[in-house]
Chain A
Amino acid sequence: MPRPQEVNRSQVLIIGLVLLALMLPWLPFGASTNYILRVLTTAVLYMILALGLNIVPGFTGLLDLGYVGFYGIGAYTSGLLAIHYDLSLWVILPLAALNGALWGILLGAPTLRLTGDYFAIVTFGFSELVVLVLRNELWLTRGPMGLPGISPPSIFGHPLTRDWEFFYLIVFLLAVVFVVVRRMEDSRLGRAWFAIREDEIAAQCCGVNLIRYKVTAFAISASIGAMGGAFYAKWFKFIHPDMFKFWESILILCLIVFGGMGSIWGTMLGALILIPLTEILRAVLPQSLFSARYLIYGLILVLMMRWRPEGLIPFESAQAEKAKQTQKRLTGLVGKE
């Protein structure tokens, strides 16, 4: 156990930020509180999605352009289950995650033998396929009419309606996903993924079964995306095939590239900065320049790629930090003995 004086500055900073986030609904923002909460709920949702996507291109090193497909599958699973069976959120979330994982495995098992660009194209095709199915299978998804009337989630019989309640819910989900991803990163599973990312041939010769670990990564990433989608459907109460277009995949990919591919803190930071930024730009820019927000967005990405292509918190420095933590732990152990 770390003694109190060993708690370093970054830990204090993180705890402070978490407390601030939890107190946020009660800070005096006046009339704009709800707006701020909604923007932040979106940001946290994208943090979850970014954490999920990060597993495939970040940890395993495979470019995945079809992440939004799983997000859509999750959202429609949740919406349909809510409408037809009126299930509770706590049943829907694991079911959506399972469904996401199922499709992840179905897509991944045959295609993960492909390398690089080919795999990216397959995933892109998959996400387009999902949108087409959602749009055309009227009997199941009502197609372009969307899926309205999804009941709000409830906790202990109390239905969630207010913005702060959703905010707390999504922060809780983020905490769960964060713990899951952290545990996997720091384990045999995560090491196998990193090995594949760094050098497939060397990984194979170290006993890592490539297909198996790639499929695992893909399934876990898909199930996290589907969980995000499930929350989104319950939160927005209306879903439509157009919400799951290719652009969303690129957006989430941008978040993790901006934040630092492969580092957990980086991807979260990326989402936390870029998503509210779009909202701020939407509010600041005049109506006539409304679409220019994507221009600014693109500009930021271009500058980022020019000056800091590895992202805000690069993979290497995250790994170096991890090694330092391990060193502290081990030298502490040695000291004790």
Chain B
Amino acid sequence: MCDPQSVGILTAVTALEAVAVHLPPRLEPIEDVGARIGLTPRQLRLFRRFHGLDQVRLDPDGTLLDLLDAAVRALPELRGNEHRIRYLLHARNTPVAAPYPINPLHQLQERFGLTRADAFTVTQQACAASLLAVDLAGRLLADDGDPSALALVVAGEKTFTRDAQVLPETTIFAEASTACLVSPDGDRNRVLSYAVRQRPEFYGRPAEDPELMVRYQREYQPTMIETVQAALDQAGLDLSDIALLLPHNVNQASWRMICRQLGYPVEQVVLENVLTVGHSFAADAFINLRTATTGGALRPGDHYLIAAAGIGATFAAMVLRH
């Protein structure tokens, strides 16, 4: 495993300069999604009553390029700074997202004139890929040593196949997208720590392996709590120092249980987007950050924690100062 001390020292300078969110206008009740993809009434009751899901954002006519394009267009801070973008990273759950060799990321790069950017996708850390992308962007920018350089991290995916539509007994996926400007030494949303825990024994396809799913669900909370604690330790903070927890929007129930075990007030967890957006893969982190900042839930100087996880399995947590 990486040296956590060193990771903590490095990421102290990385900063999220600006975040933009695109929410497709179509808001579909989970019952409509269920009818379309063949979920049973029992499954839908579980999602609504136990997991607290309600509606998901979808863009049935748009492509992946359309989705990412809309997020980047919503980022006014990019205008005039295109030449400063040294890295363009797509943080993605699903490793293959377009028929080879179609490459929406490079189409995006061309469309926005990011001619100086090194553009690639980071994947295979499930919905924690956005935290990985922020960490990588920070490392690459720090290593380059150009304080004016920036990275643009985009997230968002199409729900084009069943495994990208539903995770049994856990969540229904959505299609919101985000764009985030990362700097090597900014003063907004400074990254204080980043912790990753991987459990490759959960590699597999839970949709066809109920035993794997049961084992994953059993280990999910303790591993997530361990990861959160590792990020807090690296940042030199206690949970009581965290003003807000930004979860991935997988469901409400798992976060309520984690909060009970952590002794953390669930009122300080941004959960409203579980109801009104849905689980938008790796984009959740930035969607919830945007909700927190525009809603005034974060004040300058507040510490907050972003947490995400996914099958494979990867758990990640990042502590930042607003």
**Are both chains from one complex?**
no
Residues of A within 8 A of B (CB): none
